[in-house]
């Protein structure tokens, strides 16, 4: 299986493509170059118009849709068009192209001359659109090994292609689909569809078996620039206190500090502004067993990478490559210099308890239940590569009085305040290294006294990196959190009061409505009684009149 990783590129996102730099002075000082650009400006406009249609970067995509419709009609109904309106269609198309080309050329040559900024803007647009057009191909490594894989895959897929063309799709339909795919590849709708399809594991497996490349979309992609395997970690310098160790530079477990992608074994103060660290890189090589293929570095998308750092499980470069890329730190406050201490990468046999020289530890499908011998129910395996390196951290070139209250942890450091605000090269050696050779008139130490000075007497422990009054910062943060919580309680109380007022208003309206209905019922009842009394009275009067 292939170890190379091909990432899916759907749409350009680099802001550098949109940045322009004015070169007007260069063209003004070179009239020959300005004249040449002015003469080819019409052809640049034609090329720019063609590229904006192919890359869907025009403001109104109606031309793209008309092109798709025209291409579809021409391909699907070719048998009818070639007999009826093919000559007329060719004449109209040729006339349109000639008219548009001649119009642009005449306007550029005999009309108003283009300015230097217009020429540069057109060249910039062409550059950006060409970058967008060829971006998918630039992210595929066309090596000799990949060419062999492509040819082998094409030979294997030739019977399948012939079967599809002869059974399911006609050559006309296949040509129509391929043309639509090419013309609409850079459209936002095609980008969205590809982005949704690429989330499927089956789509990526199909792409892998069709191309032979290890195609995997990492979940951590985007954290690394240009999909590279450069790891970005925080600054490794925590404290400048030297850690004394003896032996083969194998410290105790309690003294070893892990910093994301490597383990710090030893720290040594090289100078007041330089810190030298001995670090060890631990990289895990991971493989999975596939039926019919055996062990391969093709892993599932939701798993770890084929090579990853042991502490953080983040993707790492291949340790077998000669151009191993060291971690890049998130800030550039200091200068970092890397140098290998070991000549080559070595297997950590302690990882598998020195059972086998290959160093593999076998797991089940979920990377659990480790054993040290290959078994039929083990589908994943891991081994660890280690290599030591030296990291030199260059901090500052000057010592400033402003930082001295935070940098000095011992009262014996105060004699160095006389050399504050001086460059490092101008500070006398006796202030930098207490153990340096002294002048004959001086005592055994810098201050001329005969008592033994402590080891850290004249050491700049941490220039510009120690936290400033952490207790005050914690109190300030605690106060901000309390204010934030109090504000949340106030907002919650206001919301509750508003809710209660609305409920009370609804209850009051309901009571008024019920009281109104009660009065209406009472009035209706009194009216019925009055009508009934009037009827009885009228009936009684009628009976009296009849008598």
DSSP 8-state code for residue 390: E
Provide the pLDDT for residue 502: 92
pLDDT at 360 over 90: yes
Contacts of 356 (CB under 8 A, 6+ apart): 372, 373
Q: Residue range 56-75: average pLDDT?
A: 84
Distance from C-alpha of 367 to C-alpha of 196, rounded to nearest angstrom = 29
Asked if 122 and 41 touch (Cβ cutoff 8 Å), the reply is yes
63 to each of 56, 104, 184, 265, how far by Cα in Å?
A: 9, 18, 12, 64
Provide the pLDDT for residue 109: 64
Provide the pLDDT for residue 229: 38
Provide the pLDDT for residue 425: 58
DSSP 8-state code for residue 414: G
pLDDT at 373 over 50: yes
Q: Residue range 409-420: average pLDDT?
A: 42
Q: Residue range 280-292: average pLDDT?
A: 90
Asked if 330 and 234 touch (Cβ cutoff 8 Å), the reply is yes
Distance from C-alpha of 221 to C-alpha of 309, rounded to nearest angstrom = 16
Radius of gyration of the chain (CA): 40
pLDDT at 239 over 50: no
Q: Output phi, psi for 200, to 5 deg.
A: -80, 135
Give the lowest-confidence range in 48-62, 257-271, 295-309, 391-405: 391-405
Q: Residue range 175-197: average pLDDT?
A: 86
- Strands 257-259, 346-347: pairing is unpaired
Q: Residue range 197-203: average pLDDT?
A: 83
Which band of pLDDT confidence, cut at 50, 70 and 90, is reported for residue 111?
low
Give the lowest-confidence range in 2-6, 383-387, 509-513: 2-6
Provide the pLDDT for residue 417: 43
Distance from C-alpha of 30 to C-alpha of 36, rounded to nearest angstrom = 10
Q: Residue range 305-329: average pLDDT?
A: 84
What are the start-end ranges of the E strands in 299-418?
A: 307-309, 328-329, 335-340, 346-347, 361-363, 380-394
Comparing 428 with 310, which gets the higher pLDDT?
Answer: 310
pLDDT at 524 over 50: yes
pLDDT at 438 over 70: no
Provide the pLDDT for residue 505: 93
Provide the pLDDT for residue 403: 40
pLDDT at 381 over 90: yes
Q: Which of 54-63, 463-472, 527-536: highest mean pLDDT?
A: 527-536
The average confidence (pLDDT) of the chain is 73
* pTM as predicted: 0.36
Distance from C-alpha of 541 to C-alpha of 412, rounded to nearest angstrom = 128
Give the lowest-confidence range in 235-239, 357-361, 389-393, 489-493: 235-239
Provide the pLDDT for residue 411: 39
pLDDT at 24 over 60: no
Provide the pLDDT for residue 107: 67
Token pair for residue 468?
Answer: 């400033």
Q: Residue range 391-408: average pLDDT?
A: 54
Give the lowest-confidence range in 282-296, 389-403, 486-500: 389-403
Provide the pLDDT for residue 464: 40
Contacts of 410 (CB under 8 A, 6+ apart): 454, 456, 457
* Secondary structure class of 422 (helix, strand, coil): coil
Handedness of CA 76, 77, 81, 83 (dihedral sign): positive
Closest CA to 277 of 343, 327, 217: 327
Q: How many CA atoms lie less than 13 Å away from 402 in the CB half-sphere?
A: 3
pLDDT at 380 over 90: yes
Tens of pLDDT, residues 204-217: 888 877 776 666 54
Q: Residue range 345-374: average pLDDT?
A: 88
Give the lowest-confidence range in 226-230, 303-307, 373-377, 533-537: 226-230
Distance from C-alpha of 206 to C-alpha of 212, rounded to nearest angstrom = 10
Which band of pLDDT confidence, cut at 50, 70 and 90, is reported for residue 141?
low
Task: Tell me the DSSP string of 78-130.
Answer: HHHHTTTTHHHHHHHHHHHHHHHHHHHHHHHHHSSPPPHHHHHHHHHHHHHHH
Contacts of 143 (CB under 8 A, 6+ apart): none
Helix (H) or strand (E) holding 296: strand 294-296
Give the lowest-confidence range in 80-89, 245-254, 477-486: 245-254
Provide the pLDDT for residue 308: 92
Which band of pLDDT confidence, cut at 50, 70 and 90, is reported for residue 247?
very low
Q: Which of 3-17, 415-429, 456-470: highest mean pLDDT?
A: 415-429
Asked if 423 and 398 touch (Cβ cutoff 8 Å), the reply is yes
Which band of pLDDT confidence, cut at 50, 70 and 90, is reported for residue 452?
very low
Tens of pLDDT, residues 325-349: 888 775 556 788 899 999 899 998 8
Give the lowest-confidence range in 13-17, 176-180, 535-539: 13-17
Provide the pLDDT for residue 423: 58
What are the start-end ranges of the E strands in 140-273?
A: 214-215, 232-233, 257-259, 262-271
Q: What share of residues in the chain are helix, strand, coil (percent, to 5)?
A: 50, 15, 40
pLDDT at 126 over 90: no
Provide the pLDDT for residue 94: 80
pLDDT at 140 over 50: yes
Provide the pLDDT for residue 363: 93
* Secondary structure class of 307 (helix, strand, coil): strand
pLDDT at 288 over 60: yes
pLDDT at 369 over 80: yes
């Amino acid at each position: 299986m292939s170890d190379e990783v091909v990432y899916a590129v759907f749409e350009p996102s680099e802001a550098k493509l949109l940045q322009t730099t004015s070169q007007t002075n260069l063209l003004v000082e070179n009239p020959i170059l300005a004249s040449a650009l002015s003469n080819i400006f019409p052809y640049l406009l034609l090329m720019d118009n063609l590229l904006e249609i192919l890359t869907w970067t025009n403001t109104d995509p109606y031309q793209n849709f008309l092109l798709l419709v025209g291409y579809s009609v021409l391909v699907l109904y070719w048998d009818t068009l070639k007999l009826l309106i093919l000559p007329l269609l060719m004449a109209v198309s040729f006339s349109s192209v000639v008219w548009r080309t001649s119009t642009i050329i005449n306007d550029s040559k005999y009309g108003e001359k283009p300015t230097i900024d217009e020429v540069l803007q057109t060249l910039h647009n062409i550059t950006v659109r060409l970058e967008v057009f060829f971006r998918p191909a630039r992210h595929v490594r066309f090596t000799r090994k990949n060419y062999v894989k492509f040819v082998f895959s094409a030979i294997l897929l030739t019977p399948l292609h012939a079967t599809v063309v002869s059974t399911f799709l006609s050559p006309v339909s296949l040509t129509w689909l391929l043309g639509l795919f090419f013309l609409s590849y850079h459209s936002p709708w095609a980008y969205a569809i590809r982005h949704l399809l690429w989330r499927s594991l089956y789509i990526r497996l199909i792409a892998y078996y069709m191309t032979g490349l290890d195609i995997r979309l990492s979940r951590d992609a985007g954290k690394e620039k240009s999909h590279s395997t450069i790891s970005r970690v925080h600054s490794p310098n925590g404290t400048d206190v030297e850690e004394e160790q003896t032996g083969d530079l194998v410290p105790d477990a309690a003294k070893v500090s892990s910093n994301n992608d490597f383990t710090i074994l030893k720290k040594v103060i090289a100078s007041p502004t330089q810190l030298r660290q001995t670090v060890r890189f631990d990289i895990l090589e991971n493989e999975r067993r596939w039926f019919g293929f055996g062990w391969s570095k093709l892993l599932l998308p939701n798993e770890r990478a084929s090579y990853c750092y042991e502490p953080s499980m983040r993707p790492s470069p291949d340790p077998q490559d000669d151009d191993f890329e060291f971690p890049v730190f998130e800030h550039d406050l200091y200068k970092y210099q890397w140098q290998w201490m070991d000549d080559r990468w070595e297997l950590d046999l302690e990882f598998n308890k020195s059972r086998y020289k290959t160093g593999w530890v076998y797991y089940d499908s979920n990377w659990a239940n480790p054993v040290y011998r290959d078994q039929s129910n083990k589908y994943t395996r891991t081994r660890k590569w280690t290599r030591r390196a030296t990291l030199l951290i260059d901090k500052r070139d000057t010592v400033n009085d402003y930082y001295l209250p935070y940098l000095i942890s011992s009262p014996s450091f105060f004699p160095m305040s006389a050399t504050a605000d001086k460059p490092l090269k101008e500070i006398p050696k006796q202030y930098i290294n207490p153990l340096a050779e002294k002048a004959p008139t001086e005592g055994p130490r810098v201050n001329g006294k005969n008592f033994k000075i402590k080891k850290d007497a004249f050491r700049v422990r941490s220039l510009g990196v120690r936290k400033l009054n952490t207790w005050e910062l914690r109190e300030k943060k605690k106060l901000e959190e309390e204010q934030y919580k109090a504000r949340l309680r106030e907002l919650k109380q206001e919301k509750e009061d508003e809710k209660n007022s609305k409920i009370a208003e609804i209850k009051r309206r309901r009571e008024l409505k019920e009281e109104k209905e009660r009065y209406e019922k009472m009035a209706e009842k009194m009216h019925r009684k009055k009508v009934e009394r009037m009827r009885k009275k009228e009936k009684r009067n009628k009976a009296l009149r009849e008598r």
